[in-house]
Amino acid sequence: MSFFKKLKDKFAGNAEQEQSTEKYKEGLEKTRTGFTSRINDLVAKYRKVDEDFFEELEEVLLQADVGFETVLELMDELRYEVQRKNVRDTSNVQSVISEKLVEIYQAGEPELNEIKFADGLTVILMVGVNGVGKTTTIGKLAHRLKNEGKSVMLAAGDTFRAGAIEQLDVWGQRVGVDVIKQAAGSDPAAVMYDAVRSAKSRGVDVLICDTAGRLQNKVNLMNELEKVHRVLGREIPGAPHEVLLALDATTGQNAMIQAQTFKEVTEVTGIVLTKLDGTAKGGIVLAIRNKLNIPVKFVGLGEKMDDLQPFDPQKYVYGLFAEGLDKEEEMEEDAADK
């Protein structure tokens, strides 16, 4: 059974999983259109798997922002697997590529893809530069957690960016959760202190904290985040339990630079990759995971409230190669008819 068929069979019969898989398929349409069409062109150009084929495939993967180190690792794995399975026809390579992409991503610890909840109040710190969709992500994450039966509160810790507090307040009203805030220009650590005290007194399950996204002065950013960490940790031992970094998938390799910077100033526990539906270079998911060893916990696959989805490498690969699956099914049906 092919890798694509295994994926489809795995998610079949579960309405929630099938709906999520469909979101990946729709959300990755831009990446798939460019990526898969170039793969198809390669398959049409080369009838046999040889070194020329591998060299052009390498270029396609690099242009999809999979990342240099990841591509080299993938090409080594592909060469070995193609030889081991004696794959000669290029039309059979897509399934092998898919399988290897999932394996490379899952080389880390897959259980880290889920949010770590504390026994009492769970504190999630959201970090990221301005403009990546951080506040929107907070709203969508609050909506998701609320639908899972958890009580949620938000803390407006980005007190410097014009309109940030108001934007979070609008999301709070939309989702139906309280937002703890102070006047613009207030000390973010003071906002966090008030928010933790309020969340504890009300018995809230999850507190999601917004933070400033200025990168112009790394020292200031580090000092600010350290102060916030200190306040949260003093009020709740072990807090923050998650530090999620929001990255804009459409910025490609610039997102890698941001991830490296934030990793230097704070202990990032997971990535939220926003606007994945808006880029033709969705391979950045693999580059981030492989180079920084930080799990991607959520991906933004659209603008609707429920378009923030937990990251699943198998659904991601399915979204990249969905046409390949459809083509395989057509070929199987044609063969059966004959």
Provide the token pair at 193.
């202190």
Check whether 21 is labelled as a binding-site residue.
no
Check whether 60 is labelled as a binding-site residue.
no
Q: Cis before residue 240, ω within 30 degrees of 0?
A: yes
Sheet holding 206-210, edge to edge: 178-180, 152-155, 206-210, 122-127, 242-248, 270-274, 296-300, 308-310
pLDDT at 3: 62
Check whether 128 is labelled as a binding-site residue.
yes
Provide the token pair at 242.
């998650």
Check whether 152 is labelled as a binding-site residue.
no
Q: Exposure of 77 by Cβ count < 10 A (0-12 exposed, 13-18 middle, 19+ buried)? A: middle
- Please state, in angstroms and rounded to a whole number, the distance separating the CA atoms of residues 138 and 132: 12
Check whether 132 is labelled as a binding-site residue.
yes
Distance between alpha carbon 167 and the CA centroid of its chain, in Å? 23
Check whether 195 is labelled as a binding-site residue.
no
pLDDT at 328: 54
pLDDT at 55: 93
- With CA atoms as reference, report the closest residue to 214 among 234, 188, 237: 188
Check whether 277 is labelled as a binding-site residue.
yes
pLDDT at 104: 80
Check whether 70 is labelled as a binding-site residue.
no
Check whether 122 is labelled as a binding-site residue.
no
Check whether 274 is labelled as a binding-site residue.
yes
Check whether 120 is labelled as a binding-site residue.
no
Check whether 41 is labelled as a binding-site residue.
no
Check whether 252 is labelled as a binding-site residue.
no
Check whether 47 is labelled as a binding-site residue.
no
pLDDT at 124: 98
pLDDT beneath 70, residues of the chain? 1-5, 7-8, 108-112, 215-217, 323-338
Check whether 194 is labelled as a binding-site residue.
no
Distance between alpha carbon 84 and the CA centroid of its chain, in Å? 32
Q: What is the 3-state secondary structure (H, E, C) of the chain?
A: CCHHHHHHHHHCCCHHHHHHHHHHHHHCHHHHHHHHHHHHHHHHHCCECCHHHHHHHHHHHHHCCCCHHHHHHHHHHHHHHHHHCCCCEHHHHHHHHHHHHHHHHCCCCHHHHCCCCCCCCEEEEEECCCCCCHHHHHHHHHHHHHHCCCCEEEECCCCCCCCHHHHHHHHHHHHCCEEECCCCCCCHHHHHHHHHHHHHHHCCCEEEEECCCCCCCHHHHHHHHHHHHHHHHHHCCCCCCEEEEEEEHHHCHHHHHHHHHHHHHCCCCEEEEECHHHCCCCCHHHHHHHHHCCCEEEEECCCCHHHEEECCHHHHHHHHCHHHHHHHHHHHHHHHHC
Q: What is the dihedral of CA 237, 183, 127, 178, to 10 degrees?
A: 70
pLDDT at 112: 62
C-alpha triplet 274, 266, 205: angle, nearest 5°? 70
pLDDT at 122: 98
pLDDT at 332: 52
